[in-house]
């Protein structure tokens, strides 16, 4: 029987030590992420409870009414950042109303998970998604996909439930969540009052335009569901960032948006074509239709909007996508209108 040489024995001990230390660090990181998740969820629920109880005590009759959230948001967002703006306070209020029993909340889920769950109208479906998500350790992106593809409803209706489960499991297996993605989560960063770690530099005007575009598309009422902001996609060791990503559940496709400042160039158009191709390869799952890209150029005199799809999908765009998506003219007009308003506000602020 061969014996380990002294050097081999030492190397084996070092490898063992490295393994133990690595596991210790992984467990510590997971505990930190879970602790932040839990605190954020509990805080959002408590904020929602305080708002609802204040309203129920007669605040609306006292003249606050719908102005209450705006009044609170103005002060809280000024002190603690965008995570407590009007939109988020409305979500916290709704969170308490949809999940009134705090002890029934699943501690495995983050605030991003619960924001996804708020979109589910049916209480039975909402609770089912919550428990299934916690039991199976779905990422927020996986939960979003299950909701968008009506997983719960299909399970109820299908006589072949095993096939539905297998299809869903296959689709989410590729959606592995890691700490790097968690730290880049804009919802978490907003709550903590931190800047986005992976965010490319944007001027105040660019940031405000992206804010408006996100709200504009969601308010169209044409099937847009927000997926991500400044989403990172990687190729050949290079990180690229897409300004806005939506999923349109009427078209069953991803819609990615990139905002450029200045005159639109051929290089910008080529970059968006590359984004569309990469997104199709990396993010599109079975059942999804081809990804569509929107490139917007916020020029000083006149904005430009252009759609981008992979070659061969032109007929699909003309017959199906154009019936749901806003036209290039509508996007250009909205961008021009909002840009003028933002620049006017900036001018007023700078003169004060």
Per-domain residue ranges of the chain: 25-183, 200-351
What region does 63 belong to: left with phi over 0, alpha with psi -120 to 50, or beta?
Answer: left
Q: What is the pLDDT of residues 123-162, one digit of tens each?
A: 999 999 999 999 988 888 888 888 888 888 888 887 887 8
The domain 200-351 is classified under which CATH number: 3.40.50.300, 3.20.20.105, 3.40.1350.10, 3.50.30.60?
3.40.1350.10
Q: For every one of its 352 residues, what pLDDT tens digit does the chain have, with 9 covering 90 and above?
A: 455 555 566 677 788 888 888 888 878 877 777 787 888 999 999 999 999 999 888 655 555 666 889 899 999 988 888 788 888 899 999 999 999 999 999 988 999 899 989 989 999 999 999 999 999 888 888 888 888 888 888 888 878 878 878 877 776 765 555 444 444 455 666 666 655 433 433 456 667 778 778 888 887 778 888 888 888 887 666 677 888 888 988 888 899 988 877 677 788 888 888 888 888 888 888 888 888 888 888 764 556 777 887 676 777 777 788 888 888 888 888 777 777 776 666 555 544 4
Q: Write down how long the chain is.
A: 352
What does DSSP assign to residue 65? T
Q: Are 96 and 52 in contact (CB under 8 A)?
A: yes
- Distance, in Å, from the CA atom of 109 to the CA atom of 77, rounded to the nearest integer, reads 24
- Distance, in Å, from the CA atom of 99 to the CA atom of 35, rounded to the nearest integer, reads 20
Question: Chain centroid to CA 108: how far?
Answer: 19
């Amino acid at each position: 029987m061969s014996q380990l040489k002294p050097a081999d024995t030492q190397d084996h001990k070092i490898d063992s030590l490295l393994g133990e230390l690595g596991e210790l660090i992984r467990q510590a990181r997971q505990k930190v992420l879970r602790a932040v998740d839990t605190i954020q969820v509990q805080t959002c629920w408590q904020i929602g409870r305080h708002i609802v109880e204040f309203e129920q005590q007669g605040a609306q009759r006292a003249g606050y009414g719908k102005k209450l959230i705006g009044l609170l948001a103005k002060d809280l967002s000024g002190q603690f950042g965008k995570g407590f703006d009007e939109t988020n306070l409305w979500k916290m209020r709704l969170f308490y109303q949809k999940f009134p029993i705090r002890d029934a909340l699943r501690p495995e889920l983050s605030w991003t998970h619960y924001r996804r769950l708020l979109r589910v109208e049916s209480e039975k479906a909402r609770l089912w998604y919550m428990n299934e998500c916690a039991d199976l350790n779905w990422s927020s992106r996986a939960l979003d996909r299950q909701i968008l593809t009506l997983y719960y409803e299909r399970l109820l209706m299908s006589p072949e439930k095993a096939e539905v489960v297998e299809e869903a499991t296959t689709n989410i297996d590729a959606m592995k969540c890691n700490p790097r993605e968690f730290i880049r989560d804009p919802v978490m960063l907003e709550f903590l009052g931190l800047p986005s770690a992976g965010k490319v530099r944007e001027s105040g005007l660019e940031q405000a335009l992206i804010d408006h575009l996100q709200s504009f598309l969601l308010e169209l009422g044409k099937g847009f569901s927000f997926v991500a902001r400044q989403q990172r996609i990687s190729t050949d060791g290079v990180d690229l960032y897409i300004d806005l990503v939506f999923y349109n559940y009427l078209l069953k496709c991803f819609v990615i948006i990139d905002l450029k400042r200045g005159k639109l160039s051929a290089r910008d158009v080529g970059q968006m074509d590359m984004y569309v191709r990469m997104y199709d390869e990396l993010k599109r799952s079975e059942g999804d239709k081809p990804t569509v890209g929107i490139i917007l150029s916020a020029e000083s005199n006149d904005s430009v909007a252009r759609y981008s799809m992979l070659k061969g999908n032109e007929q699909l765009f003309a017959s199906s996508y154009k019936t749901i998506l806003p036209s290039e003219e509508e996007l250009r007009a909205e961008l021009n209108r909002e840009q003028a308003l933002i620049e006017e506000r900036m001018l007023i602020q700078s003169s004060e």
